Amino acid sequence: MSPPSLEFADLPGGKIAFRRAGTGPVILCLHGLGGGSKSWRRQFEDLSSAFTVIAWDAPGYGGSDRRAPRVDAYAEAAAALIEALGVAPVTLVGHSMGGIVASRLASIRPELVARLVLSCTFWGEARADGEPLAEGYAKRLADRKALSAEAFGRARAGSMTGPDVDPAIFAEVAGIASEIRADGFADACRLLNHADNRTILPTLRLPVLVLGAEHDSVVRNDRIEPLAVLVPGCARVTVTGVGHAPYLEDAKQYNRVLREFVNTTA
């Protein structure tokens, strides 16, 4: 099944593209550096019978206009989307980069977020303005320039998926990554390089689930655990058998964790 068609919200600062399906309480999904709104295909399929599932293209991705490459600017864009759609408060699922944005949004606009899922994420690289990109981001940007779109997608999928990934899922992750715009990818790398949520995580006062993945080599559990320590009273779950794309690699397990969290905190 294909993901829902793109829709567009004209917001202050530019348009944001998104997809949505279903009826009921709203789950808003924010993708990671190597993803897009298509990443959440299995959440649209499996959760839309009980929830309204919405997934955005982050600024500079897909059909969305660019914003300043700062976590506050992306959080403000997500807040504006929630308000424009009239769906607050939402269950906010932020994966990797999306988790950094989601944490900041829940901090600055708590009335918009009922509960928060931080999926395979961390607090940011916390590099000062003016410092160069961390080596990993610099390498990814070099790959984005040097490789064909297809080769770049395969390289990203190789990092994002676990050792036992279904070849069809690997191809899907690679295909999504191959569509990433160069300008949006560069902006997102800069956002991640300078973001620092360490001071805001202890201020969160809502139900929070911190979710990791057993074979994640992009955001390892030894980076997730320090984040979880900072979040008061958070739940902690590790999805087994998968890498950095658990929402596709084992959607059944991932969606079960989401349902249980929503239902137990409703």
Domain annotation covers residue 1: no
pTM: 0.97
- Provide the domain count of the chain: 1
**Residue 97 lies inside a defined structural domain of this protein:** yes
Residue 161: which domain range?
Answer: 7-265
**In a domain? residue 98:** yes
Report the pLDDT averaged over residues 75-93.
Answer: 98
Whether 131 maps to a domain, the answer reads yes
Contacts 24+ apart (CB under 8 A), 141-144: 141/185, 141/186, 141/189, 144/180, 144/182, 144/185, 144/186
Q: What is the pLDDT of residue 67?
A: 98
The CATH number of whichever domain residue 81 belongs to comes to 3.40.50.1820
Residue 236 has pLDDT above 90, yes or no: yes
How would residue 266 be classed by pLDDT, with cut points 50, 70 and 90? Answer: confident
How do residues 181-219 score in pLDDT, each as one tens digit?
A: 999 999 999 999 999 999 999 999 999 999 999 999 999
State what percent of residues in the chain have pLDDT above 90: 97
Angle at 188 between CA 219 and CA 169, to 5 degrees: 55
Q: How far apart are CA 261 and CA 18, in angstroms?
A: 24
Chain centre to alpha carbon of residue 161: 15
pLDDT of residue 111: 98
pLDDT, tens digit (0-9, with 9 covering 90-100), for 148-173: 999 999 999 999 999 999 999 999 99
Segment 89-143, tens digit of pLDDT: 999 999 999 999 999 999 999 999 999 999 999 999 999 988 999 999 999 999 9
Q: Does 2 map to a domain?
A: no
Residue 198 inside a domain? The answer is: yes
Is 118:94 a contact under the CB 8 Å cutoff?
Answer: yes
How far apart (Å, rounded) are the C-alpha atoms in residues 174 and 177? 5
The alpha-carbon radius of gyration of the chain (Å, integer) is 17
